[in-house]
Structure 1
C-alpha cells in the first residue's frame, strides 16, 4: 500500500510514540476493505507499539478503523482510507494516541479537557479537500484529550448512501450528536468557541484590556503576515487581528508561482506564514472580525464583532478578498446544497452527476477541467463573448468530451426542489432567450470581492470597493495603511500581497518615527 519512501517517513514519525496503540479494523470482503487492511498492516509492521486486530459483521461502517491507547478510553475513527490530504490526519492521530504531546497551547488543552457533556462528532470529507484536514485533526485531538468526545472521519465518496441520505453537498460537513454542527474550514479554536459559549466573552474581555499597539495589522493572509513580521522586526509593539489566519490562501489548492517555491498548497503556506509570524513577538488575536475603524487624535480604534476594541498608533489593513457571488435568486438558498465555490473540496460529492461552472477565466476553466474527470458532464457558462482563460487551459478544456461551453450566458436564477439544486436559468445575451439547464451542482468561479464593507465611510474606497492607497500604502486616513487584495494595487497575487504588506509596515514605522520626533522649535530651545 505504502511505497518505500512513505514507509521510511512514517517509521521515523512512529519512533516518537511512547504508548501502545490499539487499531481495530472493521472489514468485509470488499476491495476497499483489503486496501485499508494493507495500509494498516504496513503501519503495524513499522513499530511494535501498534497492535492491529480485525472485526467482521460488527455493525460499524465498513471499511473503517478505530484508534485507542491501550488502557485509555479514546474514540478516534476513520471511515474510509485516509490517504490524500487526510494522510497527515492519520499520522497525527497515531502520534497523539501514542502519547506524543500535541502542539496546542496549555490553555487550549485545559479548555478541551474541561468540556462537560457527551460529544459525538461525524465529519464528512473528500480526500481532495484541502480544508477538511484542519477540521479532522482538531476533532481527533479533542477526542484524544477528552473521553467524552468521540470523532469519526467519513470519506463521502466511499459512503455515498450516507451522503445522499443526509443531503451533504459540501465538505467538510460536521455533525454533532446527529445534528449539523458546521460546514467549511474550522480550526481548533473556532470549534472550541462554538462548544464553550463563554470562551468568546472571556477572549473579548482579555482583548479589551490590551494596551495600544504601535502597529496593529487587521488580516492574517500573506499581506498581513508580511506586515506583522516587518513591523515586529523593528522592535515595536505589534498585534494582528484576524478572522482566520491564512485568509484566502487557505482556499487555494495549487500554488506554482510563488518565487523560489516550485510548488505548494495554500494550507501548507498558511501554516508556514503563521509559524513565521510566531517566531517574533507578535500578539495574534485570531477569530476576531473587525467591524469599524474609528480615527482618534492619538490612537486609532478598531472595533470588533465580539464587542471588544483594540487601539493602535498605526494600522495596516490587510483584510483580503472573498469569493464573488452571482447575486441571483436561489444562490444563497442553495449554498452548500448544490451551489459551491471550491471544486477541489466539493467535486467528489458530485461523482457521476451533471454540474455547471460559472466563469470562463483561469479559475473557471481549471475547475471545469478538474470536474470533468469526476462528474458525468460539465457545462461552463461565460458572460463574455469568449473565454478569458490562458490558451493552454482552453485547449485542454475543448479536448474533453463531456464538457460544453456556452458563451454570452448571463445566469439569472438557481433552481431547486427546496432541499437541493436541480438546475439554473440563464439568458442568451445574443438573442435574449431564456434557457433552463437541469443540474445537480453549480460551481461559481467569477473572481473576488474585497473585504472592505466595514470600512465604508471611514477610509476612501474605489468604485469597486477597494481601499485606495498611494505608492507607500497610505490610505486617506493618517496613520492608516493598507496592503494586499483589499487595495487598489493591481494584480492580486500572493507574492505581490507579501511585498505590499512589507511596504505598508515599513511605511507605518516611518510614520511613527516622524510623528513621535520632537518638533524643531523644542529642539532649538
Structure 2
C-alpha cells in the first residue's frame, strides 16, 4: 500500500510515540476494505508500539479507529485517509500515542474543560485542501477530551450517506447528528462555537488593552508583512483578524511566489503566522471589525462590542469571492452552489454542473471538473472568453464541455433542498434558457471586504480603499494595503510589498506627529 519512501518517513514519525496505540478496523468484503487492510498492516509493521485488530464494530465499513489499547476509539476514519488526509492520519497516530500537539496551552485547557458529549462527523473529499484542518482539529479534541469523538467520512466512498444527508460541499461537519458547520474552521473557531462564554471573555480582554502604535486590521499576506515591519521598529503592534491568513487559506497551488517554486495556501499561512509570532505582535484572531472612528487615537469597534485604540491603523482586510447576486444563490449555497472546484468537485462525480465565468479561474475550473463530472456548461457574460489562449484551447478540446457566451445568469433553481438547474438570459437574442444540473461553481472574481468602512474612508466605485503611493488613505494616520485597495493587481507578492509600504509609512507618520 505504502511505497518505500513513505514507509521510511512514517517509521521515523512513529518513533515519537510515547505509549502504545491500537488500530481497530471495521472491514467488509469490498476492494476498498482490502486496500485499507493493507494500509493498516503496513503501519502496524513499522512500530512495535502499534497493534492492529480487525474485529471493529463500527457501522461504517470500511473504517478504522485509533485508540490506546483497552479503550474504545474516539478517532475514526471512514475510508482510506490518503491524499491531503494522510497528514491527518499521521497526527492522529502521534497524538493518540502521547506526542504533544503544537497548540497553545490555553486552547488545550479550554478543550479539556468542555462539558458534555460531542460526536462529530466530518464529510470530506480526499482532494480538498480545506478539509484536513477541520479533521485534525476535531481529532485533537477527541484526544484531549473523553467526551469528544471525531469521525472523518470520505464522501466519494460513502456516496449513499452523502445523498441521505444532502451534502453538497466539503468539509461539512455534523455534531450529534445535527448540522454544525461547513467550510474551513480552525480549532479556535470550533471551540468558540461550543464554549458560549468565549465571546464575552474575549471582548473583555480586548477592551482592556492599551492603545497600539500600529493596529493592523486583517491577517492576510499584506497584514502579516505590515505587522512584521512595524514590530521590527520596536513599536507596540497589534493584528486584528477575522481569520488569520485570509483568502490565501483557500488557495490550493501557488507557483508565482518568487523564490518558492511551489507551495500551498495553508502552508504559506503557517509560515506567515510563525514569522509574525517571532516578534512582539499582539495577534487577536477570530475578531471582526465593524466600524472605524477617526480621531487623535483612532478607534476600531468590534462585532463583540469591544473597542481598540491606536495611533495609526493599517487596513488589510482583503477580498472575498464575488457572488452572482441572483435569486436562489443564497438559498442554495453549499447545497449545489459552490466556489471551490478542488474541494467540492468530487461530490459531483458523474453529475452535471455549470461554471460561471470565462476568465482563467473559470476555465481552469471547467477543465478540472470535466474529468470528474458527466458534463460542464460554462456560462460567460461577455461575448468572448477572457482566459489565456492555452487554457481556451484545452477547454474546447474536451468532449463534455459546452461553452455559452453572452449569457446573463438570472436565477438558481432548486427543489427546496438542492440545486436542480440554472436560468440564464441570452444577451443577444433576449431569450431565457434553463440548464438542468446539480451543481454550480461561481468563478467571477473578488469583492473587497470594505463594507464596514463606508462613510469613513474614501472608497472607489468598486468599493476599494483609495490609497496613494505610500498606502495613505483619505484619513490621516490610516493606511491600507493589499486586495482591499486600489492597487491594480491582486497578487500575494504585491500584497506583501504593499503591507511593508503601509507599515513604513505608518512609522514615518508616527515619528513626524
Q: TM-score range by the shorter chain?
A: over 0.9
Structure 1 residue 275: Cα displacement? 1.1
2:502 matched residue in structure 1: 504
1:128 matched residue in structure 2: 127
Contact 2:65 2:73 in 1 (8 A): no
Structure 1 residue 194: Cα displacement? 0.3
- Residue-by-residue CA offset, 1:160-186 (whole Å, 9 max, x unaligned): 000000000011110000000011111
1:306 matched residue in structure 2: 304
Contact 2:337 2:419 in 1 (8 A): yes
Answer yes or no: is 1:359 the counterpart of 2:357.
Answer: yes
Q: Which stretch shifts more, 7-16 or 428-437?
A: 7-16
1:70 matched residue in structure 2: 69
Contact 1:411 1:427 in 2 (8 A): yes
2:138 matched residue in structure 1: 139
Could you tell me how far apart the structure 1 residues matched to 2:311 and 2:58 are? 62
2:405 matched residue in structure 1: 407
2:231 matched residue in structure 1: 232
- Residue-by-residue CA offset, 1:79-126 (whole Å, 9 max, x unaligned): 001111111111111110010011111111111111111110000011
**Helix, strand or coil at the partner of 1:302:** strand
2:435 matched residue in structure 1: 437
2:276 matched residue in structure 1: 277
User: Normalising to structure 1: TM-score of the pair?
Assistant: 0.97
Contact 1:74 1:143 in 2 (8 A): no
- Residue-by-residue CA offset, 1:453-484 (whole Å, 9 max, x unaligned): 00001100000000000000000001100000
Q: How does 1:108-187 map to 2 (within 5 A)?
A: 108-187=107-186
**Helix, strand or coil at the partner of 2:80:** coil
Q: How does 1:176-325 map to 2 (within 5 A)?
A: 176-297=175-296, 299-325=297-323
Could you tell me how far apart the structure 1 residues matched to 2:24 and 2:369 are? 35
**Helix, strand or coil at the partner of 2:181:** strand
**What do you get for the CA RMSD once the two structures are aligned?**
0.9
Contact 1:193 1:200 in 2 (8 A): yes
Contact 2:125 2:156 in 1 (8 A): yes
Could you tell me how far apart the structure 2 residues matched to 1:44 and 1:214 are? 54
Question: Which one of the candidate residues 327, 330, 347 is aligned to 2:328?
Answer: 330
Could you tell me how far apart the structure 2 residues matched to 1:70 and 1:509 are? 57
Q: Number of aligned residue pairs: give it.
A: 513
1:378 matched residue in structure 2: 376
Could you tell me how far apart the structure 2 residues matched to 1:199 and 1:177 are? 21
Q: Which of structure 1's runs of 4+ aligned residues deviate more than 2 A? A: 70-74
Structure 2 gap ranges (5+)? none
Contact 1:126 1:171 in 2 (8 A): yes
Contact 1:294 1:300 in 2 (8 A): yes
Structure 1 residue 218: Cα displacement? 0.4
Structure 1 residue 73: Cα displacement? 5.4
- Residue-by-residue CA offset, 1:49-88 (whole Å, 9 max, x unaligned): 11011127x3521110000022555500100011111111
Structure 1 residue 193: Cα displacement? 0.4
Structure 1 residue 254: Cα displacement? 1.0
**Helix, strand or coil at the partner of 2:498:** helix
Q: 1:72 to 1:284 in 2, by over 3 A?
A: farther
**Helix, strand or coil at the partner of 2:29:** coil
**Helix, strand or coil at the partner of 2:495:** helix
2:343 matched residue in structure 1: 345
Contact 1:377 1:402 in 2 (8 A): yes
Contact 1:380 1:403 in 2 (8 A): yes
Contact 1:409 1:426 in 2 (8 A): yes
2:29 matched residue in structure 1: 29
Could you tell me how far apart the structure 2 residues matched to 1:159 and 1:316 are? 47
Could you tell me how far apart the structure 1 residues matched to 2:123 and 2:343 are? 11
1:50 matched residue in structure 2: 50
1:522 matched residue in structure 2: none
Contact 2:408 2:426 in 1 (8 A): yes
- Residue-by-residue CA offset, 1:382-438 (whole Å, 9 max, x unaligned): 001111011111111111111110010000000000110000000111111110000
**Helix, strand or coil at the partner of 2:94:** helix
1:476 matched residue in structure 2: 474
Contact 1:19 1:70 in 2 (8 A): no
Contact 1:122 1:175 in 2 (8 A): yes
Contact 1:124 1:172 in 2 (8 A): yes
2:87 matched residue in structure 1: 88
2:8 matched residue in structure 1: 8
Could you tell me how far apart the structure 2 residues matched to 1:217 and 1:14 are? 41
**Helix, strand or coil at the partner of 2:300:** strand
- Residue-by-residue CA offset, 1:239-289 (whole Å, 9 max, x unaligned): 100000110101111111111111111111111111111111111000000
Structure 1 gap ranges (5+)? 516-525
